[in-house]
A and B are shown apart, each in its own frame.
Chain A
Amino acid sequence: MMGLAGHLIIVPILLPLLSAAVMLLLDERRRGLKSVIGIGTTAALLIVSIVLLRQADLMSTGSSVTTYQLGNWPAPFGIVLVLDRLSALMLALTSVLGIAALLYSLARWHRAGPRFHTIFQLQLMGLNGAFLTGDLFNLFVFFEVLLAASYGLVLHGDGTARVRAGLTYIAINLTGSFLFLIGVSLAYGITGTLNMADLAQRIPTLASEDAALVAAAAAILGTAFLMKAGAWPLNFWLPTTYAAASAPAAALFAIMSKLGVYVILRLWTLVFGPGAGLLAGFGGEWLLFTGLLTIAFGTVGVLASQSLPRLVGCSVLISSGTLIAAVGTGDSAVVGSALLYLVSSTLGIAALFLLVELLERMRDPGADVLAVTMEAYSESNDDDPGEEIGVAIPATIAILGGSFIACALLLAGLPPLAGFIGKFGMMAAMLKTDGASVQASAWILIGLLTVSGLATLIAMTRTGISSFWARLDDSVPRVRVIEIAPVLGLLLLCLSLTVGGGPAMRYMEATTKDLQTPQGYITGVLGVPKIGAANGETRP
């Protein structure tokens, strides 16, 4: 029999669903109660995900995963939830961002529109489910859950700019979902399974004419995920949408673009690893070059951005592009450092999205000398939910400025913060290829990583000077403790990633080792019998 601890895996999905359902029944005026429930749920999620992270970390490297069979139907017939190092890491990251964004929203954003807390919890549920599931169609369902919630969050706070951005965002994501469905059903039609582990087991045995169709299915699926990750040329919606969304929503969306990267990393290493027969390494070059183009596009975007939210949106693209290219190299050492980069850049981007709103508060719209298109983006004035709030905390400018510098260092990948370790690790791994000459694509990637870091630094410096030094008035923005605390918390977490760089890097290396040995995942998922049944009885 399975103890209560065995059911912990499903808690990150059930708990937010339950709390969202309860909050739906509460009257919209009882915000205090809703805030308490929301914070309580998110804090519980954080604790659960840390416990799961520790549990995943205790497993022996490269062999075992923990599964949870929904309805006690064994894989591949039933749907399973799978916990391994990678999904545990993403879960923890989601919970951290969730609690930071929710705390921030309590200052005022949760009053800007109806049902904020409910939608927020559903978003967390969708994200957690997508990270945990081991079934392709179930992944689609969780994608839709999180997308539906994200439509609500994009539109939260109303205003023309949000509705306009939301329209594009919904249309492109619906199209992406159709591609997802086509890919999933095509893969099912050929292989006869939707379970990821079973899929990985069947693909090496395919005949060559079937292999071509599976390759087509994988390409279509890959397009859908790359769209989600914000890969060029399917990413023109991303900076606009993220810039238009309210600050807490945008901070949470920082993990959404990483979801696309996660799925690609998971499926690609599992299904198209070296043991995949005819299809081994399928699409690797495409990933690499798409990533390179995305970095280039993001770099140009960062330099060309005339408003701060848009600049952060473009740095999301750089971060996604870096990760996609790193996955595309197929080098486990590069992927290990890229995972560290993923964590630090997600935290940094989320912190910056929260910070940007505070900075915009003290920024005179006219301060953007370059902002010829300001009219199109300056939506922040007409949607503020009213009343000026809070006591101005002392040394506000110093704290804001310090946080801004920390974010800039993180995103540009400069020491001493964790962004540097990740980037440096990737470059070092690419240059060290056991005496063999470094490939041309690796040189391009190293060059682009350096240039994108420089461009981010230039753009952030420019904005920093105009925000902090070149201000015409001396007004100190009113910032509440509850608004600045999440930002500082996220940055402190990045700092602890640097200080605890050794253990963090060891975890990432163990994660990549797991990814390198898909056999461990496959036997971990398919070899588990039904609970309460004798071994061997369940597999036909």
Chain B
Amino acid sequence: MTELVFALAVGILTGSGVWLLLRPRTFQVIIGLSLLSYAVNLFIFGMGRLRVGAPPVLENAEAVDPSLYADPLPQALVLTAIVISFAMTALFLVVLLASRGLTGTDHVDGRENPQ
């Protein structure tokens, strides 16, 4: 059940993200990129296998059964990925505003389509 909900969440986030990414307004693009980054972060987390109630940190350095513990590495990777995508989104936001100011439009091409 957890797996199904998880997979659906990743799928819906990715789908919405890709759709928004292909839209013509810069704000839609940035929201699309954010949604995609959530989906990717969840996906990385899922690659460490979904475990309920298993701690990722070993409590003593004695010989332990690793199957009782969750894989800590994907969690560390997610942390890195979150920080990086957060920073990149902030940077993109600045460029978006600069583009809006310089071109006077929020179209991704920097000019409106002649209708």
Indicate if A181 sits at the interface (CB-CB under 8 A): yes
Indicate if B70 sits at the interface (CB-CB under 8 A): no
Cα A167 to Cα B95 with chains together (Å): 6
CB under 8 Å from chain B, chain A span 155-190: 155, 159-160, 163-164, 166-168, 170-171, 174-175, 177-178, 181-182, 184-186, 188-189
CB under 8 Å from chain B, chain A span 181-221: 181-182, 184-186, 188-189, 194
Contacts of B49 in A (CB 8 A): 189
Indicate if A282 sits at the interface (CB-CB under 8 A): no
Indicate if B102 sits at the interface (CB-CB under 8 A): yes
Nearest chain A CB to B32's CB is how many angstroms away?
Answer: 9
Cα A253 to Cα B58 with chains together (Å): 44
CB under 8 Å from chain B, chain A span 81-121: none
Instruction: Map CB proximity to A onto B60-89 as digits: 1 under 8 Å, 0 otherwise.
Output: 000000000000011001001100110110
CB–CB A181/B81 < 8 A: yes
Indicate if A392 sits at the interface (CB-CB under 8 A): no
Known: A167-B96, A181-B44, A185-B77. A175 touches B36 (CB 8 A): yes
Contacts of A144 in B (CB 8 A): 84, 88
Nearest chain B CB to A35's CB is how many angstroms away?
Answer: 26
Instruction: Map CB proximity to A onto B86-109 as digits: 1 under 8 Å, 0 otherwise.
Output: 011001100110110011000011
CB–CB B81/A163 < 8 A: no
Cα A148 to Cα B98 with chains together (Å): 17
Cα A155 to Cα B110 with chains together (Å): 15
Indicate if A14 sits at the interface (CB-CB under 8 A): no
CB–CB A170/B37 < 8 A: no
Interface centre among A170, A175, A185, A189 (most CB of B within 10 A): A185
Cα A167 to Cα B96 with chains together (Å): 7
Nearest chain B CB to A182's CB is how many angstroms away?
Answer: 6
Known: A148-B87, A189-B48. A170 touches B40 (CB 8 A): no
CB under 8 Å from chain B, chain A span 255-276: none
CB–CB A171/B81 < 8 A: no
Instruction: Map CB proximity to A onto B17-43 as digits: 1 under 8 Å, 0 otherwise.
Output: 000010000100100010011001001
Number of interface residues of B (CB under 8 A): 33
CB–CB B102/A160 < 8 A: yes
CB–CB B92/A170 < 8 A: yes
CB–CB B29/A178 < 8 A: no
CB–CB A167/B108 < 8 A: yes
Indicate if B47 sits at the interface (CB-CB under 8 A): yes
Indicate if A137 sits at the interface (CB-CB under 8 A): yes
Contacts of B26 in A (CB 8 A): 167
Indicate if A393 sits at the interface (CB-CB under 8 A): no
Cα A86 to Cα B85 with chains together (Å): 30
Cα A170 to Cα B90 with chains together (Å): 12
Indicate if A141 sits at the interface (CB-CB under 8 A): yes
Known: A137-B80, A155-B95. A185 touches B43 (CB 8 A): yes
Indicate if A151 sits at the interface (CB-CB under 8 A): yes
Contact among B40, B103, B108 with A178 in the assembled complex (CB-CB below 8 Å): B40
Contacts of A175 in B (CB 8 A): 21, 33, 36
Nearest chain A CB to B91's CB is how many angstroms away?
Answer: 6
Known: A163-B102, A185-B74, A189-B48. A178 touches B88 (CB 8 A): no
> What residues of chain B have their CB less than 8 Å away from a CB belonging to chain A?
21, 26, 29, 33, 36-37, 40, 43-44, 46-49, 73-74, 77, 80-81, 84-85, 87-88, 91-92, 95-96, 98-99, 102-103, 108-110
Q: List 27 A-B contacts (CB under 8 A).
A: A137-B80, A148-B87, A155-B98, A159-B102, A163-B98, A163-B110, A164-B99, A164-B102, A164-B103, A166-B95, A167-B26, A167-B95, A167-B108, A171-B21, A171-B29, A174-B85, A175-B36, A177-B88, A181-B40, A181-B81, A182-B40, A182-B43, A184-B77, A185-B43, A185-B74, A188-B47, A189-B48
Given contacts A170-B88, A185-B77, A188-B74, 8 further A-B contacts (CB under 8 A): A151-B95, A163-B98, A166-B95, A167-B26, A168-B108, A170-B92, A181-B44, A185-B47
